[in-house]
Amino acid sequence: MAIVNPKRIVLRPQGDPAQQYTECDSKMAMLERARAIIRHEAAALEILSNRIDEHVCSLVDYILSSTGIVIVCGIGKSRLVGEKISAILTSTGTRSITLDPVDALHGDIGRVHAGDVIIALSNSGETAELMQFIRAVRQLPVMVAVMTGSANSSLARVADLVVDIGPMQEACALGLAPTTSTIAMAAMGDALALVLQERRGFTRQDFARLHPGGSLGWELMRVRDLMWPLEAIPVFRPDTPLSLALLSMCRAPRKLGVGAVLCERSKVAGILIGESIGRLVDRGAILDLNDPVKRHMQPPLTAISGHAFLDQAAQLFRQHEIELLPVHDDQERFVGLISRQDVVKLP
Domain residue limits, the chain: 49-202, 219-344
* 30-60 confidence digits (pLDDT tens): 999 999 999 999 999 999 999 999 999 999 9
39: CB partners within 8 A, 6+ apart? none
| Averaged pLDDT of the chain | 88
Residue, of 205 and 147, whose pLDDT is higher: 147
pLDDT of residue 12: 44
SS3 260: strand
Least confident piece of the model among 1-5, 90-94, 230-234, 285-289:
1-5
Which element (helix H / strand E) includes 61?
Answer: helix 55-65
CA 322 to chain centre: 30
**CATH class (in words) of the domain with range 219-344:** alpha beta
Q: Is the pLDDT of residue 62 over 90?
A: yes
Amino acid identity at 205: Q
Please give the pLDDT value at position 15. 55
pLDDT at 274: 87
Report the C-alpha gap between 188 and 190 in whole angstroms. 5
CB-based burial label for 334 (10 Å; 0-12, 13-18, 19+): buried
User: Rounded CA gap, 304 and 301, in Å?
Assistant: 11
- Is the pLDDT assigned to residue 3 strictly greater than 90? no
d(CA 253, CA 246) in angstroms, rounded, equals 14
d(CA 27, CA 29) in angstroms, rounded, equals: 5
DSSP letter (8 states) at residue 6: T
Residue 49 φ then ψ, to 5°: -60, -30
Give the per-residue pLDDT at 49: 95
Q: Model pTM greater than 0.75?
A: no
**How many helices (DSSP H) and strands (DSSP E) are in the chain?**
14, 14
Tens digit of each residue's pLDDT (9 = 90 or more) over 81-130: 999 999 999 999 999 999 999 999 999 999 999 999 999 999 999 999 99
Distance CA 258, CA 272 (A): 6
Q: What is the DSSP string of 245-259?
A: HHHHHHHSSS--SEE
Q: Tell me the percentage of the chain whose pLDDT exceeds 90.
A: 66
Evaluate the CA torsion angle 183, 185, 187, 190 in order and state its sign.
negative
Nearest alpha-carbon partner for 142 in 112, 120, 115: 115
Phi-psi domain of 107 (left: phi exceeds 0; alpha: psi -120 through 50; beta: other): left
CB 222 within 8 A of CB 310: yes
Helix (H, G, I), strand (E, B) or coil at 14: coil
Q: Which pLDDT does position 207 carry in this prediction? A: 80
At residue 1, the pLDDT reads 39
In this structure, how many other beta carbons lie within 10 angstroms of the beta carbon of residue 149?
A: 19
| Domain 49-202 is found in CATH 3.40.50.10490 | yes
Q: Is 155 helix (H, G, I), strand (E, B) or coil?
A: helix
User: 151 pLDDT band (50/70/90 cuts)?
Assistant: very high
Asked whether the beta carbons of 178 and 165 are under 8 A apart, the reply is: no
Q: b vs e for 216-244, b when ≥16 Cβ sit within 10 Å of the residue's Cβ? A: ebbbbbbbbebbbebeebbbbeeebebee
